[in-house]
Amino acid sequence: MDEQVGEVSVPLAQRARAALGRRNLVFIGLMGAGKSAVGRLTAAALGLPFVDSDTEIERVSRMTINELFAAYGEAEFRALETRVIKRLLRGGPRVVSTGGGAFINDNTRKQILKGGLTLWLKADLDLLWERVSKRDNRPLLKTENPKQTLETLMNTRYPVYAEAQVTVVSRDVKKEAMVEEVLAAIVDHYGKAES
C-alpha cells in the first residue's frame, strides 16, 4: 500500500523532491489555472516553502495589485514584479506561484527559466472563466467583455507559456489529484533529462 500524506503519495513526493534537488519549482499560467492552490499543496508535499509572487509584491509595496495597476500602470507593475521574482528565486529551493503576466515579460521570463523548473498549468477557457468570474480582483479583466478579454489573453500568452519546461493540464478535479500530476511530471521531466 502506497503511503499517503493527505491524498498525495509520499513515495512520489519523495522522488519528485529528489529530482528537483536545489532547484525552485515555478508555476506559470493564466489567472484561474490553480497556480496558488496547487502550488501551495505541491510545496507541502515536497516539504518546501511556498510563496505567491503577487502576495509578495503586495507585501513589499504595501498596496494591492489593483492599487498598483491603478497608481502606476502595468509597465511599472511588471518592473516591480521582475525584481521581486528575481529575489524570490535567489532564496530557493522553494515553490513559487507567479502572476499570469509574469512569464510574458522578457526579463522576468529569463529570470524564471534560469531560476528553476518552470511548470505551466494549462487550462481551457471555460474552466478559467468559471474560476475567475466569481471574484472582482483581476485588473486585466475590468473590461466591457471580460470573457473575451480572457480568451484574448489566452491566445496571446499560450504560445509564450509553451516555453515552460513542463506542462500539466489543469482540470476540474480535486487539488490533490492535480498535485499528483505535478509531482509525476517533475519525476518524468528529470527522468527524461537523465536518459
Identity of the residue numbered 136: D
Dmax of the chain from CA atoms? 55
List, for residues 129-178, the tens digit of each pLDDT value: 888 776 665 555 666 777 888 899 899 999 999 999 999 999 888 899 99
Rg (CA), the chain: 16
Cα pseudo-dihedral 142, 146, 149, 154, rounded to 10? 110
pLDDT of residue 96: 97
Which residues make beta-bridge pairs with 52?
97
User: % helix / strand / coil in the chain, to the nearest 5?
Assistant: 60, 15, 25
List, for residues 54-76, the tens digit of each pLDDT value: 999 999 999 998 899 889 988 89
Given a contact cutoff of 8 angstroms between Cβ atoms, the answer to whether 7 and 100 are in contact is no
Domains plus CATH for the chain?
Answer: 4-185 (3.40.50.300)
